[in-house]
Amino acid sequence: MRRRAAPDARPVALTVAGSDSGGGAGIQADLKTMTACGVFGTSAITSVTAQNTRGVEGSHLLPTTEIEAQIDAVLDDFDVMAVKTGMLATADVIETVCEYAPDLPNLVVDPVMVATSGDRLLEPDAEAAYEDLLAHATLVTPNADEAAVLTGIEQESEADMRAAGEELVETGATAALIKGGHVSEAGTDAAGGEDEVVDVLVTAERVETFRHPRVDTDATHGSGCTLSSAIAAHLARDADLQSAVAAGVDLLARAVRYPLDVGQGPGSVHHAVELRDRAARDPTAERVAEAVERLVARDVSPLVPAVGMNVAGATPYAERPDEVAAVEGKITRTRSGVSPNRGVRFGVSSRVADRLVAVREADPDRRFAVNCRYDDAVAAALSELDGSVAETDDSRQRAVREAVERPDGRPIAVVNPGGEGVVPTATLLADDADRLVERTVSVLETIERDR
């Protein structure tokens, strides 16, 4: 008996770009990102590059007739909902794409001129050819260097980014997203530290900024391709422009925070990071539920603080408290022991989830946490565990992160000694749920032993 097929209908997007043999940028990055965003990606390859995480070693441009044949083949068969361009390399190729541009829906133009490694990917005489293509663009996504080339405005501040965006919109583009990864002044905080990456979206009606903490990494290979592909994918799924850009910027921020450690160079951004994170939600919640069952079975009543206990588990790439699973309503003491008020869900914890996210800023491998009461007995029990204890009387994320970074080695707990109006608490930490339960039970057994 043959099984009946159950087709999965997906929006289709097209990328017109160069091939990256290293897999981190170009066509390869585009297709990976489109798939991760729920879109079927098609392609027209403009050039074949020999490159890896360390740089570009060679490039071979395809004849424009071959590029045209690829575009024609895709448009003839697929209902393409969005198109993005990447490495076009020469004026002839840009002009070839321009011939199709009036009929290309949701056209996102990433004016690739220089690779992250510094290797030039566009012939100097091709820069002027972009003007005609931009006139048909739904969105153009230049980085600081590309924006300076296209507009003549050096990108040194947020005001410069806005000015460049406005000039690009005046050329005919519906919108311009000026990427601020290399504009340090735009993300300078009040204390003078360069903490943020600021991207500026300009349309004829409004200017919107997107801010994310700067990540200390050189593994940004493929970042521009990933961002423009994500935006195109969301446009293909019928998102409005602002929503598509916001989703793309968020995806890239996470892809840079959790890069892929591949190759001998800095590595690559993680194109499928959000897809992998979503896939980890159910297993993470299950591990939290299992930990709760074990703590209930052991009756950890002596460790439950006045504010209640909670067990929290972060997905491998969690960035926000709503990406942390925990017990809804906490774990409380009863006459027969301890009991969770409700089941395990994402986004139901505030204090423990917020603290776990703060810890992960300094130590991303820490994925599970439980809060306990804190007094001299608990402090003595923690001192017998294999690991340091961080202390802070400030519950804000920055303070927790700094406390975790301060001790030698990786802390196994963060404690708040309390004070006026603040209940003393200890938050035990672990990389996996089993180890978290073991540490919690060890603290309990030490307290019971020393009574």
pLDDT at 194: 52
Residue 272 contacts residue 32 (beta carbons within 8 Å): yes
Q: Which helix (H) or strand (E) holds 203?
A: strand 196-203
Residue 46 contacts residue 16 (beta carbons within 8 Å): yes
pLDDT at 412: 93
Length of the chain: 451
DSSP 377-427: HHHHHHHTSSS-EEE-S--SHHHHHHHHHSSSS--SEEEE--BTTB--EEE
pLDDT at 161: 94
Domain ranges of the chain: 12-275, 280-449
Residue 285 contacts residue 344 (beta carbons within 8 Å): yes
Alpha helices in 135-272 (DSSP H): 144-151, 158-170, 223-236, 241-257
Tell me the residue ranges of DSSP E strands in 64-171. 80-85, 107-109, 139-140
With a cut of 50, which residues of the chain have pLDDT below it?
190-192
pLDDT at 237: 97
Indicate if the alpha-carbon torsion angle 275, 117, 14, 171 is positive or negative: positive
Residue 140 has phi, psi (to 5 degrees) of: -120, 135
Provide the 3-class DSSP secondary structure of residue 156: coil
pLDDT at 121: 61
Measured distance CA(139)–CA(199) in Å, rounded: 14
pLDDT at 135: 92
pTM: 0.88
pLDDT at 190: 45
CA 142 from chain center: how many Å?
A: 20
pLDDT at 60: 92
Measured distance CA(324)–CA(357) in Å, rounded: 8
**Cα angle vertex 380, ends 374, 382, to 5°?**
75
Provide the 3-class DSSP secondary structure of residue 428: strand
DSSP-derived pairing of the beta strands 344-346 and 324-327: antiparallel
Measured distance CA(253)–CA(250) in Å, rounded: 5
Q: Which amino acid is at 388?
A: S
CATH 3.40.50.620 given to domain 12-275? no
Measured distance CA(80)–CA(77) in Å, rounded: 9
Residue 370 has phi, psi (to 5 degrees) of: -145, 140
What are the respective helix, strand and coil percentages of the chain, to the nearest 5?
40, 25, 35
CA 184 from chain center: how many Å?
A: 20
How many C-alpha atoms does 311 have within 13 Å on its Cβ side? 33
Neighbours of 371 (CB within 10 A): 29
Closest CA to 161 of 195, 201, 210, 197: 201
Neighbours of 342 (CB within 10 A): 10
Measured distance CA(399)–CA(416) in Å, rounded: 11
pLDDT at 134: 93
Q: Which CATH architecture has domain 280-449?
A: 3-Layer(aba) Sandwich (3.40)
